[in-house]
Amino acid sequence: MKRSKTAVLLLMGTAPLLLSACDRSESAAREGVYTSVETCVAQTNDRNTCQQAFDKAQKDAAATAPRFANREACEASYGKEQCAERNDGASHSFFGPLMTGFFLSQMLRNGSPMSGFNSAPAFRDSNGGWQQPAPGGAGGGVYRSSAGNAMVPINTTADRAVTTSRSGFGRSGSSRGFGS
Amino acid sequence: MRRIALAERPDWRSKAAECGFGFHTIDDAPYWDESAYYAFSLSEIEHDIEAPSEELHAMALDLLDGIVGNEQQLRQLAIPEPYWDWIARSWRERQPHLYGRLDFAYDGNGPAKLYELNYDTPTSLYEAAFFQWQWLEDQLARGQLPAGSDQFNSIYESLVEAFGTIARGIARPFHFAAMRDSVEDQGTVAYLRDCALQAGIDCGTLAIEDIGVSADGRFTDLDDQVIGALFKLYPLEDMFRETFGAYLPRSGLQLIEPPWKALLSNKGILPLLWDAHRGHPNLLAAEFDDGGELPRGWVRKPLHSREGANIAMHLADGRELRTDGPYRDGPCIRQACHSLTGFDGHYPLIGSWIVGDRACGIGIREDNSLITQDSARFVPHAIVEETRGVLIA
């Protein structure tokens, strides 16, 4: 036979995907930190999960962010104008960094996400590094503040650089595109 | 090889919609056309297309060792000097490539003649690999094709296999990029990404226009991640000329197709192939154009013309054909004129796919003129071993 035995679409098709469970069982984790729901969707093609992860991270951010007694101490770690005053609901006021992104982790099977995900707020320190609250809130955290929320660096996407310019490619384009 | 009229599947438009085929009609003109198909014998496919494709692919790759160190040839191919070392390094390291398409004039009589190599940004991939395959399966199931009909099309399997092979060596994050507003190109990268995901490669998409650069000259995505590897459905020669091009050689970015494809996706490779293999049955005589008058029996093509743009054809009978387009300036080649054969007024061009280094399928585009342009329609094909009488019945 000169043709493929099968031809499967994973994401392009809207029809339910049928994959035989026995011959393909590769699974992997997809982890990333995203600055917005849009960048998450661009990477994962899964708007629903991205939105849910963002919402959950935002909800958790105030509770799990490191706490500082004053703005200066917070800004020393997280940069100017990156901190806000917060309140723990029992009239204790403190300062914490603003959520600058969110962390999302999903299990993949054959490249497509399985149900369920983990998400957490992500904060960017003044060196440009990304951190998230330590799982369980304790132990091994390298960033520890007086009020005790441990932070761990996010290593999944350690290679980051501040973009200084965009749109340097694409001006030769036309609406018909460039394929040939 | 014959062109056979066949009723369309009544539901093919809804199938296209279900399968993400958003560009079957382009600018209100049909692009996918299943009102007919081309029927080949197995021998035509294997001896006249598959074997020559692999041979020509190997011949072209064999030229690269010489070209990367040959200043005269690099100039003939109009490769800008700042990119020479980078291209040479990419070839010395054998940076992985994914795919390419050889375009042939072929009518079932005599050898297929190579028109050009589309080795950097070939499209019509999804329709060849997937939708054409589905057409065959459907029409077999509906009893509209002779039982046992086949298709030269293991493109899908080859893509997944090729992605699996390069997966280990590919830098992450890995993104697929195309022009934001091109439905056709976006469809092609969506399909390639689909295949990559099936091979277990985690990867995302990005518009070419959204690529960023950092202060230290690395390329970034919208999330400020440094892009590890980039599949770009965008011509290397255009990247060279644009603002960000100068960053490419030192950016650390892994490109697919790799930089050395700039030497092959360039009509200048045709005279170099001809010089190295003069008289090869699948090659047309070719030379670099000196700008003089085009004699009868020759075609002039810009080095980087795509979609049949800016082609001048001086037929042996004296007729002259010419297409307009954006590639007015810049060097050209001449190629001996070998016209496409008409099938009921349609002129099919065979696109023969190489994935990895294997010839694995074809897609046919037919136009109403001798020069295949972006108006050409995609027409499916089948391998049919039955006798003529049965088919006509």
Say if A127 is an interface residue toward chain B (CB within 8 Å).
no
Residue A17, pLDDT above cutoff 50: no
Cβ–Cβ < 8 Å for B122, B100: yes
Residue A142, pLDDT above cutoff 50: no
3-state secondary structure of B191: helix
Q: How confident is the model at residue A16, as a pLDDT?
A: 46
CA pair distance B243, B251, nearest whole angstrom: 14
Residues of B in contact with A38 (CB under 8 A): 222
Q: Are strands B204-207 and B174-178 parallel, antiparallel or unpaired?
A: parallel
Q: Which residues are within 8 A (CB) of A55 and not within 5 positions of it... i.e. 6 or more apart?
A: none
Q: Which amino acid makes up residue B293?
A: E
Spell out the per-residue pLDDT of chain B, length 393, in tens: 999 999 999 999 999 999 999 999 988 899 999 999 999 999 999 999 999 999 999 999 999 999 999 999 999 999 999 999 999 999 999 999 999 999 999 999 999 999 999 999 999 999 999 999 999 999 999 999 999 999 999 999 999 999 999 987 788 889 999 999 999 999 999 999 999 988 888 889 999 999 999 888 889 999 888 999 999 999 999 999 999 999 999 998 999 999 999 999 999 999 999 999 999 999 999 999 998 999 999 999 999 988 889 999 999 999 999 999 888 888 999 999 999 999 999 999 999 999 999 999 999 999 999 999 888 999 999 999 855 545 554
Q: What is the least distance, in Å, from the CA of B132 to any CA of chain A?
A: 10
Residues of A in contact with B178 (CB under 8 A): 177-178
- Find the radius of gyration of the CA atoms of chain B: 21
| Average of per-residue pLDDT values in chain A | 75
CA pair distance A158, B226, nearest whole angstrom: 9
3-state secondary structure of A63: helix
| Contact at CB, B223 and A43, closer than 8 angstroms | yes
Which range has the worst mean pLDDT, A34-38, A161-165, B298-302? Answer: A161-165
Q: What is the least distance, in Å, from the CA of A51 to any CA of chain B?
A: 16
Q: Which residues are within 8 A (CB) of B47 and not within 5 positions of it... i.e. 6 or more apart?
A: none
3-state secondary structure of B167: helix
Give, in order, the Cα–Cα distances in Å from B164 to each of A145, B98, B340: 45, 11, 37
Rounded to 5°, the CA angle B153-B158-B164 comes to: 165
DSSP string, B108-162: SSS--EEEEEE-SS---HHIIIIIHHHHHHHHHHTT-S-TT-B-SB-HHHHHHHH
Residue A111, pLDDT above cutoff 70: no
CA pair distance A138, A132, nearest whole angstrom: 12
DSSP A112: E
Tokens of B392: 């006509």
Q: How confident is the model at residue B62, as a pLDDT?
A: 98
Query: Which of B133, B179, B250, B254 has the highest number of chain A CBs within 10 A, making it the mutation to test binding with A?
Result: B179
Q: How confident is the model at residue B119, as a pLDDT?
A: 97
Q: Which residues are within 8 A (CB) of B330 and not within 5 positions of it... i.e. 6 or more apart?
A: B78, B302, B303, B304
Q: How many CB pairs below 8 Å do chains A and B form together?
A: 217
CA pair distance B292, A105, nearest whole angstrom: 63
Cβ–Cβ < 8 Å for B298, B125: no
3-state secondary structure of A71: helix
Q: How confident is the model at residue A149, as a pLDDT?
A: 62
Rounded to 5°, the CA angle B57-B98-B253 comes to: 125
Say if A81 is an interface residue toward chain B (CB within 8 Å).
no
3-state secondary structure of B177: strand
Residues of B in contact with A14 (CB under 8 A): 17-20
Tokens of B284: 């047309």
Measured between CA atoms, the residue of chain B closest to residue A170 is B209
Residue A140, pLDDT above cutoff 60: no
Question: Which residue in the set B154, B194, B228 is minimally distant from A11, CB to CB?
Answer: B194
Domain ranges of chain B: 2-151+263-267+340-392
Residue A130 φ then ψ, to 5° = -105, 140
Residues of A in contact with B188 (CB under 8 A): 179
Cβ–Cβ < 8 Å for A119, A103: yes
Say if A165 is an interface residue toward chain B (CB within 8 Å).
yes
ipTM for the complex shown = 0.90
CA pair distance A24, A31, nearest whole angstrom: 21
Please confirm whether the linkage preceding B8 is cis (ω < 30° from 0): no
Say if A178 is an interface residue toward chain B (CB within 8 Å).
yes
| Contact at CB, A5 and B201, closer than 8 angstroms | no
| Contact at CB, A111 and B374, closer than 8 angstroms | no
Measured between CA atoms, the residue of chain A closest to residue B306 is A180
DSSP B212: E
3-state secondary structure of B341: coil
| pLDDT tens-digit map of A44-84 | 888 999 999 999 998 888 778 888 888 998 888 888 888 88
Tokens of B288: 């670099």
Reduced 3-state DSSP string for B14-76: HHHHHCCCCCCEECCEECECCCEEEEECHHHHHHHHHHHHHHHHHHHHHHHHHHCCCHHHHHH
Tokens of A115: 């149900």
Question: Which residue in the set A1, A12, A162 is minimally distant from B215, CB to CB?
Answer: A162
Residues of B in contact with A101 (CB under 8 A): 223
Please confirm whether the linkage preceding B173 is cis (ω < 30° from 0): yes
Q: How confident is the model at residue A136, as a pLDDT?
A: 54
Say if A163 is an interface residue toward chain B (CB within 8 Å).
yes
Angle between helix A37-44 and A47-64 (nearest 10):
140
Q: Which residues are within 8 A (CB) of B152 and not within 5 positions of it... i.e. 6 or more apart?
A: A2, A3, B40, B45, B49, B50, B361, B362, B381, B383
Question: Which residue in the set A42, A101, A170 is minimally distant from B179, CB to CB?
Answer: A170
Measured between CA atoms, the residue of chain A closest to residue B373 is A180
CA pair distance A169, A166, nearest whole angstrom: 8
Say if A173 is an interface residue toward chain B (CB within 8 Å).
yes
Give, in order, the Cα–Cα distances in Å from B82 to each of B88, B108, B137, B241: 11, 45, 49, 11
pTM of the model: 0.78
DSSP A56: H
Q: Are strands A101-109 and B320-322 parallel, antiparallel or unpaired?
A: unpaired
Work out the number of other CB atoms within 10 angstroms of the CB of residue A84: 14
Strand order in the sheet with B286-288: B286-288, B332-336, B298-302, B312-314, B320-322
Angle between helix B269-276 and B51-67 (nearest 10):
100
Residues of A in contact with B190 (CB under 8 A): 11-12
Say if A105 is an interface residue toward chain B (CB within 8 Å).
no
Name the band, by pLDDT with cuts 50, 70 and 90, for residue A108: confident
Say if A114 is an interface residue toward chain B (CB within 8 Å).
no
Say if A30 is an interface residue toward chain B (CB within 8 Å).
yes
CA pair distance B135, B25, nearest whole angstrom: 17
Q: How confident is the model at residue B386, as a pLDDT?
A: 58
Q: How confident is the model at residue B23, as a pLDDT?
A: 92
Express the helix, strand and coil content of chain B in percent, nearest 5 each.
35, 25, 40
Question: Which residue in the set A3, A34, A180 is minimally distant from B122, CB to CB?
Answer: A180
Q: How confident is the model at residue B387, as a pLDDT?
A: 55
Q: What is the least distance, in Å, from the CA of B223 to any CA of chain A?
A: 6
